[in-house]
């Protein structure tokens, strides 16, 4: 019988998602990675296996709520259950610019993926975790990856920032609901992280980081975020739930 806990990570094929899969494997998890695209999944699989875990990839769009049941069935079957869900999949603004020109399509896309998808997938996973006979091969947890933009306003990508603020509240309400069930819920707020999402504006961020955008004057790396998520999923902070963990080099600290 497999006694390794298992985690489902959305947005798993690259960036923070891939780093999270690898970090979870290093902490003893088998990993199911889900993503709307398949490109990069093989590389994630190889690195998870090198870190000591087994990996299964499932192609799925979390914005499609009617596909959540099939996704969970396949993820549950892969390793005989789930002890952790990492809601990492997310999208940015369709176009950075004046918030007076934000379109309903860009707003809806941000909220459908970043908020609605994560909310209902978490609901679906929680119900399965609480059903009779669900395995408990370790501590159980849900992790939401929001953003420094959960509290820091960025008018040039207002729909993204608003959606991440909503993710923060979703994490808190699930934390309250699931605490008595022994399921911890955590929020991760990455700052400026070197990923494909930030690549188009990397030059501008290089200048701002050098000028002191964050007290720790370097890019955040996907591994910084992945290791934080794995620490929480492994139960290293057993008396914490509903907290927001900043992985941002101190970006959130107010200065006068």
- In sign, the C-alpha dihedral spanning 92, 94, 98, 103 is negative
CA distance 256 to 250: 14
**DSSP-derived 3-state class of residue 7:** strand
Active-site amino acid positions: 160
Burial tier of 28 (Cβ tally within 10 Å: 0-12, 13-18, 19+): middle
Positive or negative: CA dihedral 121, 126, 132, 133? positive
Annotate 50-81 with DSSP letters as a single string.
HTT--EEEEE--TT-GGGHHHHHHHHHHHHT-
Q: Which single residue is written with the structure tokens 């998808």?
A: 117
- Classify residue 141 as exposed, middle or buried by CB count within 10 Å of its CB (0-12, 13-18, 19+): buried
What sections of the chain are H helices per DSSP?
A: 15-26, 41-50, 68-79, 104-111, 118-130, 158-178, 202-210, 222-233
CA distance 92 to 157: 8
State both tokens at 248: 């941002």
Q: What is the distance, to the nearest Å, from the Cα of residue 249 to the centroid of all Cα atoms in its chain?
A: 18
Beta bridge partners of 6: 30
């Amino acid at each position: 019988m497999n006694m390794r806990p298992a985690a489902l990570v959305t947005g798993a094929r690259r960036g923070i998602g891939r780093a999270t899969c690898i970090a979870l494997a290093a902490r003893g998890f088998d990993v199911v990675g889900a993503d709307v695209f398949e490109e990069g999944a093989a590389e994630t699989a190889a690195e998870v296996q090198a870190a000591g875990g087994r990996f299964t990839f499932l192609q799925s769009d979390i914005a499609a709520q009617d596909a959540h049941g099939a996704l969970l069935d396949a993820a549950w079957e892969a390793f005989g259950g789930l002890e952790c869900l990492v809601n990492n999949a997310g999208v940015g603004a369709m176009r950075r610019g004046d918030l007076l020109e934000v379109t309903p399509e860009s707003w809806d896309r941000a909220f459908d993926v970043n908020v609605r998808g994560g909310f209902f997938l978490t609901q679906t996973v929680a119900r399965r975790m609480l059903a009779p006979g669900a395995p408990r091969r370790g501590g159980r947890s849900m992790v939401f990856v929001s953003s420094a933009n959960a509290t820091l306003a960025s008018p040039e990508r207002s729909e993204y920032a608003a959606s991440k603020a909503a993710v923060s509240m979703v994490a808190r309400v699930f934390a309250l609901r699931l605490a008595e069930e022994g399921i911890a819920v955590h929020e991760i707020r990455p700052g400026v992280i070197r990923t494909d999402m930030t690549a188009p504006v990397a030059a501008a961020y290089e200048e701002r980081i050098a000028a002191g955008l964050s007290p720790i004057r370097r890019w955040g790396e996907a591994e910084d975020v992945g290791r934080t998520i794995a620490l929480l999923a492994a139960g290293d902070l057993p008396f914490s739930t509903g907290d927001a963990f900043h992985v941002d080099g101190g970006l959130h600290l107010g200065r006068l």
